[in-house]
């Protein structure tokens, strides 16, 4: 576990899963820019998580990196324990950890399906349960769906099914937290230039996907992090929604 040398006193606190790369890492840095202390949850890449912590602390922020299997309830509880012990509580939960494997349904290895759904569905339930129990009133929960739920791309069946489950859970949690002034929303990025998205795609496929939105480009992790930062902040009335941050792709 890597810990910053900067203590956060009276700051809002965010837990970001999947915080070592892609959208999660940019989100962690962006929330720190807004003054939040950040717990950077990572699965395996400790060096990348430590780099996020270093970037945050170099700019005067507070951060800690903690390894976590998001589908393990004890491990997720320990992440919240770290946030409470180190920074005093949890105000924002951003659940960005996910797996994506593509296959036609006829060829899908069910072991791959089980592994992906363990992270994407069970992991979301486990993180959301801790958030519901331990988030301070006035906070925010942001989960991640995907615009492919509506786009129905071939070979995305298993992944899209898992993200459809995330959307359903998110909208229900928003209603279950009624009366606590906690917003719960999902962000559904479109094609975004992350390692997870780019893996296994040739240049022609990437160019075709980049040309689909009216903005005619892939999104960037920073684009999506701006949306998350807005939803994590106070002063808005967006709750129980799926925000499709996809450049206008339909």
Q: Please identify every residue annotated as catalytic.
A: 159
Q: How far apart are CA 122 and CA 100, in angstroms?
A: 14
Q: How far apart are CA 132 and CA 141, in angstroms?
A: 9
Q: How far apart are CA 127 and CA 107, in angstroms?
A: 31
The order of strands in the sheet holding 92-95 is 2-3, 63-67, 37-42, 13-17, 92-95, 140-144, 183-187, 242-243
CB atoms within 10 A of CB 217: 12
Q: How far apart are CA 125 and CA 146, in angstroms?
A: 17
């Amino acid at each position: 576990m890597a810990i910053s040398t900067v203590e956060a006193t009276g700051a809002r606190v965010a837990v970001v899963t999947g915080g070592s790369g892609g959208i999660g890492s940019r989100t962690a840095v962006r929330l720190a820019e807004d003054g939040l202390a950040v717990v950077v949850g990572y699965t395996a890449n400790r060096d990348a998580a430590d780099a996020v912590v270093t970037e945050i602390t170099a700019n005067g922020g507070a951060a800690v990196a903690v390894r976590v299997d998001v589908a393990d309830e004890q491990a997720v509880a320990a992440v919240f324990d770290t946030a409470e012990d180190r920074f005093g509580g949890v105000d924002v939960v951003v659940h960005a950890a996910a797996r994506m494997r593509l296959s036609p349904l006829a060829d899908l290895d069910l072991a791959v399906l089980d592994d992906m759904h363990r992270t994407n569905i069970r992991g979301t339930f486990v993180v959301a349960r801790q958030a519901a129990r331990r988030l301070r009133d006035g906070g925010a929960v942001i989960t991640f769906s995907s615009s492919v739920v509506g786009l129905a791309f071939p070979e995305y069946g298993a992944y899209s099914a898992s993200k459809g489950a995330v959307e359903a859970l998110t909208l229900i949690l928003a209603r279950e937290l009624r009366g606590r002034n906690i917003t719960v929303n999902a962000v559904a990025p479109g094609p975004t230039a992350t390692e997870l998205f780019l893996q296994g795609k040739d240049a022609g496929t990437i160019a075709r996907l980049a040309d689909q939105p009216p903005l005619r480009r892939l999104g960037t992790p920073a684009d999506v992090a701006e949306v998350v930062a807005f939803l994590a902040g106070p002063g808005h009335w967006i709750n129980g929604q799926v925000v499709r941050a996809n450049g206008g792709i339909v």
